[in-house]
Amino acid sequence: MLSVLLIGISLSMDAFAVAVTNGLTLRPFRAGHALWMGLYFGAFQCLMPLAGNVLGGTVSGYATAFGPYISFALLAFIGGKMIVESLHPETEAGMSVLSHRKLLALALATSIDALAVGVSFAFSPPAMGVVPACVLIGCTTFVIAAAGGFLGSRIPGIHPAKAGIVGGCVLIAIGIKLLIEGLL
């Protein structure tokens, strides 16, 4: 169980960084924002290993080959869009919106590596079973992502436009990190 918990924590670090970024830029920040972030990120971190486990070796080659590019493209696009919106004061009001489409793209981009974990579960299942392991990973990510959103919203003295620029850069940096990790 400890190893699965540690896997859950490590898989949720990208979601945490993205949630902190969203917490910085959303004004006003509401508890519902943190809950939605936690739900999206947690659900994807739960479902992707299950999918990887079910698909086993069939998709693992594709996930390994294209996953880093997909993650990079999604995060770079969303990060770039955040930067552009932050540079135009007239769109600043739109920064308070956390759309389901945006959450879906972010959750997908940060959970592709969990698909590979699921493939590894197909060949070496955790002692607690695959489904409970995936649920634990999802719950861990839910808590960490929701906490990240709250944490980001509590950082004082950062103007939302500046936070949007920094947040966009963070998303692009996470995308680059995932791309480099996938290529190595």
- Each residue's pLDDT tens digit, 140-152: 999 999 999 999 8
> What is the share, in percent, of the chain residues with pLDDT greater than 70?
87
Residue 123 belongs to what domain range? 2-183
Question: Would you say residue 10 has pLDDT above 90?
Answer: no
Q: Which residue has the higher pLDDT, 69 or 37?
A: 37
Mean pLDDT of 11-24: 86
Question: Would you say residue 127 has pLDDT above 90?
Answer: no
Give the confidence band of 59 by pLDDT, cuts at 50, 70, 90. Answer: low
* Residue type at position 97: V
pLDDT of residue 138: 96
Asked whether 98 and 19 are in contact (CB, 8 A), the reply is no
Give the confidence band of 92 by pLDDT, cuts at 50, 70, 90. Answer: very low
Q: Structural domain tally of the chain?
A: 1
Give the confidence band of 93 by pLDDT, cuts at 50, 70, 90. Answer: very low
Mean pLDDT of 1-15: 86
Q: Which residue has the higher pLDDT, 158 or 41?
A: 41
Look up residue 96 and give its DSSP letter.
G
Give the confidence band of 73 by pLDDT, cuts at 50, 70, 90. Answer: confident
Least confident of 25-34, 84-93, 118-127: 84-93
Using a cut of 0.85, tell me whether the model's pTM lies above it.
no
pLDDT of residue 143: 97
